[in-house]
Amino acid sequence: MSDKTFSELLNWRYATKKMDPTKSVPQDKVDAIIEAVRMAPTSSGTQPFKLFVVTNPEVQEQIKEAASGQTPITDGSHLLVFAAWDNYTEERIDYVKNLNIEGRGDIPLIHQYYDNLKAGYVPREAEVNYAHAARQAYIALGFAMVAAASLEVDSTPMEGFDPASVDQILGLKEKGLRSVVLLPLGYRDPTGDWLLPMPKVRKSRETMVTIID
């Protein structure tokens, strides 16, 4: 872990626009970032998304083409693709229920909880369920970015891509998944990044926060 403070890490990180293609994130750091995604909390513990870790240069190249040519996708060593469930189904929720029973015992509360969840979620429109699943992926995205920063690994969150193309490149539709957000991992190229020298811009605390005391 970095010896920077948490606040320093949040200032150090930025949406890296130019990564150094000669540098690769070591496997132990990639593993720690993946672990942060896996440990991120999600609604009812459903973890309603999958994570794709793309290191294949040809696949990275295809995804870059579907993302207006943004170079961190190929200059980074690892591309994370967060792909949310296209819907909540009986099978998917039962899988989570069984995982809870395995871990915590076959207790009535677990059955009751997930049976209620199925009754609530499964009849809803797929689009509503997908939107809910996608939000959960964004929690994990947040965890991944903080984890990367804590290891002084750069990352670039990207929504600017054609989801249908990325879904096709990774065969997501057949798996009942939809690509939500991309996160290339790598190392900044300090000489080539126009954004790096620019001050970070954030709203003031006064603008963003309301205290109700």
Distances (CA, A) of 174 to 83, 85, 118, 153: 12, 11, 22, 33
Question: Cα-flanking dihedrals φ and ψ of residue 144, to 5°?
Answer: -65, -40
Considering CB under 8 A, how many residues would be counted as binding a copy of itself?
64
Shorter beta-carbon distance to a copy of itself: residue 23 or 135: 135
Q: Minimum Å distance from CB 89 to a copy of itself?
A: 16
Shorter beta-carbon distance to a copy of itself: residue 54 or 66: 54
Q: Is 34 in the site for a copy of itself (CB under 8 A)?
A: yes
Cβ distance 48 to 99 under 8 Å?
Answer: no
Of the residues 94, 115, 116, 131, which one makes contact with a copy of itself according to CB under 8 A: 131
Cβ distance 91 to 47 under 8 Å?
Answer: no
Distance CA 40, CA 206 (A): 29
Q: Is 142 in the site for a copy of itself (CB under 8 A)?
A: yes
Of the residues 133, 150, 154, 161, which one makes contact with a copy of itself according to CB under 8 A: 150
Distance CA 165, CA 158 (A): 15
**DSSP-based three-state secondary structure for 131:** helix
Q: Minimum Å distance from CB 137 to a copy of itself?
A: 8
Among residues 195, 185, 168, 191, the alpha carbon closest in space to that of 59 is found at: 168
Stretch that binds a copy of itself, among 3-11, 69-77, 86-94, 185-193 (CB under 8 A): 3-11
Residue 185 CB neighbour total at 10 angstroms = 26
Give the residues lining the site for a copy of itself (CB under 8 A). 1, 5-7, 10-11, 13-15, 32, 34-41, 43, 45, 47, 50-56, 59, 99-100, 102-104, 131, 134-136, 138-143, 145-147, 150, 157, 159, 170, 198-203, 205, 208-213
